[in-house]
Amino acid sequence: MPPLWTSVAVSANPCGVTPLRTQVGIVGAGPAGLMLGHLLHLRGIDSVIVEDRSQEHVIERVRAGVLEQGTVDLMREAGVGDRLAREGMRHEGIYIAFRSDGRQVRHRIDMSGLTGGRAITVYGQNEVIKDLIAARLATGRPVVFEAEDVRVSDLDSEHPRIRFSAGGQEREIACDFIAGCDGSHGICRPAIPRQHVTLYERTYPFAWLGILAKAAPTSEELVYSLHERGFALFSMRSQEVTRLYLQCAPDEDLAQWPDDRIWSELRMRLRTSDGWEPNEGEITQKAVTPMRSAVAEPMRYGRLFLAGDAAHIVPPTGAKGLNLAMADVWRLSNALAAFYADGNEHSLNDYSARGLRRTWRAQRFSWWMTSMLHRSDSDNPFDHRRQLAELEYLVSSEAAMTSLAENYVGVELD
């Protein structure tokens, strides 16, 4: 195993700080950065992870909770899936609810049966983070939280650098490669010269008001609902905690949404003709999540590789964000392993093209799910009837249900 944080003789730098040396510098300790560091460790490749937030903040951020089959398999194969196996909730189907013959009806889509046994697992992103942090600390390889003034430079050289302050001291790391896993508001993507990257974006005219509630789930599987008043989603985080979402305006004022109003709206949008509705309980968290899509092309500049939200953002309807990140770092770790094994750069050179193919497929699916299940202020009665017709076709066609199921549980890692 290479020594950690070794000094290295490289060209002089203007900061007057003796640079430390690692093979892969990783900016960001979210799921992408932590999983990449762990996969590299399993291959004997050294890395340093630098994160500008605290460990507690990284863990407690409420994010995605639906893992594709490929993500579950990856965590198990990487040795970080024990708690997932015990506590994760495997779902072999989902429900789609909409108005049919004057009633709000739930229709089940048997994803496992349509995809040869593949499924999703409900397991919160914060739980994934806990598992990956524990694995990182167990390796003894460095992870720096609460780094200040993080920046990257020399990206097109043989020794790109990460500079930051920690503990009141300036630090500099000379790397063979840098992985930008620092999200859509991070510093890595903006460090690419503008003429070398194109950002494709779409902003949706609505958002999600999401809550966590101390209430036992009343459905064993997720329920996606199109209602005349807008979209709603029933999900869960455990056998005691429910996760629910309401479509709302992007500039929604949470002060105008007391708990009673939230539960009233959820009942209206989710209750179905068979009497099903969510349990109510104490709301412990609430937040508004804007809906947007973004793709950075290419996902590489020089020796900087973008992964996860730094490279792409998808609306949460299709549950693709975390899973795309995991596919990115799986691909990148394999490419780096090939390089360090025999100097082969083919997979590194192909990283962006392969990642973008998967990303755009996920963007298409997420856009389709979003447009099928949300009401827009610009919609007229024709648009709503068209949505209902599409949903009627979806739940009556095995081919259409198979297409949804294949995309939702995720294609094989490639």
pLDDT at position 16 over 90: no
Residue 301 annotated as catalytic: no
What SS3 string covers 321-346? HHHHHHHHHHHHHHHHHHHHHHCCCH
Residues 154 and 27 in one domain: yes
Active site residue 130: no
User: How would residue 65 be classed by pLDDT, with cut points 50, 70 and 90?
Assistant: confident
| Active-site option among 38, 41, 312, 320 | 320
C-alpha–C-alpha distance, residues 230 and 388, integer Å = 13
Query: Which stretch of DSSP H or E encloses residue 243?
Result: strand 242-248
In the chain, the percentage of residues whose pLDDT exceeds 70 is 95
Mean pLDDT of 123-136: 96
What is the pLDDT averaged over residues 183-196? 97
What's the average model confidence in pLDDT over 385-402? 97
* Domain membership of residue 142 as a residue range: 6-62+126-200+293-365
Q: Per-residue confidence at 167, pLDDT binned at 50, 70, 90? A: confident
What is the Cα–Cα distance from 295 to 316, expressed in whole angstroms? 15
| Overall average pLDDT of the 151-167 stretch | 96
% of the chain at pLDDT higher than 90:
91
Q: Do 220 and 281 fall within a single domain? A: yes
Tens digits of per-residue pLDDT, 260-301? 999 999 999 999 999 999 999 999 999 999 999 999 999 999
Given pLDDT bands bounded at 50, 70 and 90, which one contains residue 7?
A: very low
Domain identity same for 360 and 260: no
Residue of 224, 245, 301, 351 marked catalytic? 224
**Residue 152 CB neighbours (<10 A):** 25
d(CA 95, CA 176): 47
* pLDDT for position 337: 98
**Is 1 among the domain residues?**
no
pLDDT tens for residues 226-259? 999 999 999 999 999 999 999 999 999 999 999 9
Query: Could you say which of 38, 91, 227, 374 is catalytic?
Result: 91
pLDDT at 39: 98
Q: Which residues contact 118 (CB under 8 A, 6 or more apart)?
A: 69, 111, 112, 409, 410
For residues 190 and 306, membership in a common domain is answered with yes
Q: What is the band of 64 on the pLDDT scale with cuts at 50, 70, 90? A: confident
Residue 168: pLDDT above 70?
Answer: yes
User: Residue 172 falls within a domain, yes or no?
Assistant: yes
Say which of 301, 316, 351, 374 is annotated catalytic. Answer: 316
Let me know whether 55 and 82 are in one domain.
no
Query: Is 31 known to be catalytic?
Result: no
Q: H-type helices in 68-223, by residue range?
A: 69-77, 82-87, 111-114, 125-139
For the cut 90, the answer to whether the pLDDT of residue 5 exceeds it is no
Same domain, 103 and 226: yes
Total domains, the chain: 2
pLDDT at 188 over 60: yes
Mean pLDDT of 161-176: 95
Whether residue 105 is found in the same domain as residue 220: yes
User: Tokens for 104?
Assistant: 């709000």
Residue from 163, 140, 145, 144 nearest 153 by CA: 163
Domain presence at residue 134: yes
Distances (CA, A) of 221 to 109, 323, 391: 10, 19, 18
Considering the candidates 95, 123, 204, 408, report the single residue annotated as catalytic: 408
User: What token pair was written down for 355?
Assistant: 């990642």
Look at residue 414 and tell me if it is in a domain: no
* Residue 159 annotated in active site: no
392 in the same domain as 257: yes
Looking at residue 18, its pLDDT comes to 64
Residue 129 and residue 136 in contact, taking contact as beta carbons nearer than 8 Å: no
Residue 2 has pLDDT above 90, yes or no: no
